Amino acid sequence: GVILDVDERMFKDYPNQFAPFRIPCENHYNGTLFRYPLRTEVDSTDSEISDRIYKPDAILEMFDKFYEHESIDSLLFIKYIERISFYEIKNGANELELLYTIQLENADEVREKRRLIAKNIGPMMNLLKSGELKGNNQLDTSYIATFCRQKGDSKENSSWLILNYLDDLLETEKYFQNEFKRSIGDHKFIPNVGLAVPINDLMIAGSLFCFLPLPISTPFPVSVHGYFADCYYKEHEYLVCLVAPILDYNVKDENFLKHLGWNTYPDVRTVLEQLELCYVRSSNGQSPENLKEICNAIYKYMYKAFQKDDKEEFEIMKNDLENKPWIWHNDAFYSADKFVFRLPTEFEDNNSLIVELPPGYISDFKSLFEAMGVRNEIGVKELILIINNMVEGNEERKLSDDEINHNADDAKATNLSVIVDERPKFQHSSKMSLLTKEMDGWQVGFNCAYHLTDLPSIVSREYIIFFDPNEKYLPAQGRPPKRKKGFKINFMKTKFKESFPDQCYPYEALDCNFNEIFNGTLFRLPLRTDQLASDSKITNHVVKIEEILQLFNGVQGNKEMLFLRNIELCSLRHINDHEQVPQPIWQAQIYMSDDHRDIRKSVTDCIQTYQLDIKIEINDILNSKISEIWLLCIGGHERIRSEELENISRRTQIKFPNPPELKGEIFSYLPLSISTNLGVHLNGNFSLSSSRSNVLQFENDVDHKRIIPNNSLNAFVLASTLYDSSIHLFLNTFADKNKFLPPELQNDPVCLEALGRIGLKNQVNSDTYIECAQEIAQEIVIQINQARFPANEIEDRAKTLVLYLYEHVNSLNFNEQQWEIIIEMKFVPSEKNLSPFYYEPKVTTGSSSETEVTPVNLTNIFLTTSAELEKNPTRKPNQIHLQQKRR
């Protein structure tokens, strides 16, 4: 659209556009005119808005009906309009012809009262928003308005008694915040009502108004105006409960529901707002109640939209949720690109970079999640992301021989050799090459995989395996041709050596001839060149041959092998560019008896000692040889007192002649470069930082990490999500939930004390009591809807909870807000069904020997008696609740 500043020239140039307005151009027009040219048949065929055509006769008929049925009603509750006139310019005529008029006859007398609330509500809402609204702010006004309507010579007058009332905004805001955690300004829930009674004819049926009349009659001669809430039926609760009120009772009048829109299916924008609020509150540590049910209901809503032929709603959701976290799993939300349908087990511990979609989502909504971007398996993008995170996610992580030693030891290798190969690229006459041309100039080296290379390969027994996460260097296969992330070749059953001698050449110097099974495992890690590093999606870091030699020259194999269980020989060898046989640089070998070897490999609670003799040979000018003897004490045990430790020391005391001075270090199987300030090394299963450079400080580093196993041992969770099962109330409430520690941790007092420092819930206070009440309330709802639990079992749990409140109400020390939550929560079971006073009777079939459990809140149980209800059964629950709460 355009806005034009009209001048005389424009008026002359486009007279056809100004003629319908019938106003001169030389002065400002004190008012607003809207012109609506009706569509022609030609216009309707081209319109993207609507193809509906309105003829002038249809417009005149519509206005005529308005005059007959709604004319005076339309002025009852609006604040400013005092006159409505209808005119017609007939075809061929130049003058307006007045059809009919509706006006407020005594406008001068009632104008100020009529506008009182409208003038004040804006400033009052601004003061409410800023927190400056004080005191009693109710407003009310009443007046008699006289209306007249005239059609031709026919004139009718009527008088109405009109009352407008604005309730206390502070009280309304407080109620709305407690119920919906939203401000009344968010939804324009203004406590403003109006009543209008016709003085001349008390037999007229009243109507509902929201400023203008709604097509809904009242059963009495009073018309009612209000800001009717954008409510939803109970069946849509989980789709909208965070963004709109929910009707908590059945309404019999379908016409009433239809015209107020309370039984309409929630629109897609409202549901998306609900989902976003779930994520926001969950991220802030304030997850909504029934979050699982809410998310499942929303996914079901999305699934229905996806199944429709018209995909408009689904496309709105897909576009809105792109790259946003919206899939709830394990107490967190993830975006669709973080999920795959099948995740290999070796990638399950990748710091939540990629997550496997839960089986329940797959069985119920697989096609939906697939359309929203969840992939079947890890693709190149995800694999690169995982590898990139491992390599560069922690800048402190340095190239280290420790990881090589540890990995080899875990694989139960006894001999670990590092060979640095500087030979030039193998030249061969074959035109075939396994790898793309970019790889031809790569050097050969070794270290921990993707710190060094984009294309590691492995030879073990009769297989050679290549990994190419970039899908860039291995040959394309299949139809259509596609590069793979890696493949495994049985070189004994193929002509691999004949076809690709360049890939066999580096291994042949290590006694692997590709003609027979190789009894061991060889890793080849080609070092990145500067050019290839610049193109790598993993890291642009380049490690030179000199760095590899320097790194491993600093290791001479003594302390690195001390606390390993299997490796007995470590060596560093080097192949120069003019040699074919690896030359030793140093070698460290362990010698021990068979009995001590068995102790070294064992994992036991028994305290055991054994001896290691380590001999180190260094190929330097002096051909240096070093011999060391180490005594090791290993074993796990329960808590031990200092006097017991002294007894153990005496029993295992061994005297050494002239022991050397030792600067003790902390080990977690491998040295951490942390001093013990003792004359011994200490090894243990410490929780380490991702860089393996230090031990995690308990409270500071682990309270926000999911490292504590639950009692089913099927997930690692935050300590703050678990409860101490020695507390009877917790055990009673969460008996069948994974909310406790495994017995090994629960039964260890030291462990319990430490976990308490990082959030384990080990006492009943006001917060944990409310959590228990919320759990019971949720179980009651599930029982009513799904009959998942025996009713008497839930009732027993709830009785225990209520009894605890009765006995400890003073020590729980609830604040006012917590009391509001407790009073409103439906967690108290009652064998007497109170619902007939509030709801329509629930019809059931069949029989059951179990008592029907009806959830009620504390107000209903302790503050409202059945006798009081029987005295006035039509009284609404909110009225009873408010009266009793004030009392």
Residue 165: per-residue pLDDT: 94
Tokens representing residue 245 in the block: 């009120």
Collapsed DSSP state (helix, strand, coil) of residue 103: strand
The pLDDT value given to residue 848: 42
Please, are residues 635 and 654 in contact by the beta-carbon 8 Å criterion? no
- H or E element at residue 332: strand 332-334
**Spatial separation of the C-alpha atoms in residues 106 and 839, rounded to whole Å:** 46
* Rounded Cα gap, residues 297 and 286, in angstroms: 20
The length of the chain in residues reads 887
Cis peptide before 475 (omega within 30 of 0): no
Most distant CA pair in the chain, distance: 131
Residue 864 pLDDT: 34
Task: Give kind and range of the element (H or E) at residue 668.
Answer: strand 665-668
Q: Which residue has the tokens 């009529």?
A: 114
Vertex 368, ends 357 and 483: CA angle to 5°? Answer: 65
* Digit-coded pLDDT (tens) for 483-510: 887 888 899 988 888 888 888 888 988 8
Helix (H) or strand (E) holding 716: strand 716-717
User: What's this model's pTM, rounded to 2 decimal places?
Assistant: 0.41
Predicted pLDDT of residue 841:
40
Tokens 């609506």 found at? 36
Query: Using an 8 Å Cβ cutoff, are 553 and 562 in contact?
Result: no
For 274-297, give the secondary structure using H, E and C. Answer: HHHHHHHHHHCCCCCCCHHHHHHH
pLDDT, tens digit, for every residue of 127-172? 888 888 887 788 999 999 999 999 988 999 999 999 999 999 998 8
Structure tokens at 130: 């800023």
Give the pLDDT confidence score for residue 652 in this predicted structure: 58
What are the residue ranges in the chain where pLDDT is below 70? 25-26, 180, 187, 215-216, 219, 228-230, 248-263, 344-353, 378-403, 406, 425-449, 478-479, 554-558, 636-658, 689-705, 714, 783-791, 829-887
581-639 pLDDT, tens per residue?
888 888 999 999 999 999 998 877 777 888 999 999 988 888 888 888 898 988 766 55
pLDDT score recorded for residue 518: 92
Q: What's the token pair of residue 468?
A: 């190419």
Q: Report helix, strand or coil for 871.
A: helix
Residue 835: per-residue pLDDT: 38
Report the 10 Å Cβ neighbour count for 649: 10
The model's pLDDT over 168-208, given as tens digits with 9 standing for 90+, comes to 999 888 888 877 677 888 767 788 899 999 988 777 778 88
**Hey, how many other C-beta atoms are within 10 angstroms of the C-beta on 219?**
7
Angle CA(297)–CA(298)–CA(300) in degrees, nearest 5?
65
Q: Which amino acid is at 445?
A: G
Paired sense of beta strands 154-166 and 139-151, if any: antiparallel
pLDDT at 282: 84
| Domain boundaries of the chain, sorted by first residue | 8-67, 106-228, 268-390, 391-591, 655-696
* Predicted confidence (pLDDT) per residue in 441-455, tens digit: 333 333 356 777 888
Q: Give pLDDT tens digits for 217-261.
A: 776 788 888 876 667 777 888 898 888 777 765 666 666 666 566
**Three-state DSSP state, 155:** strand
Q: What is the 3-state secondary structure (H, E, C) of 245-268?
A: CECCCCCCCHHHHHHHCCCCCCCH
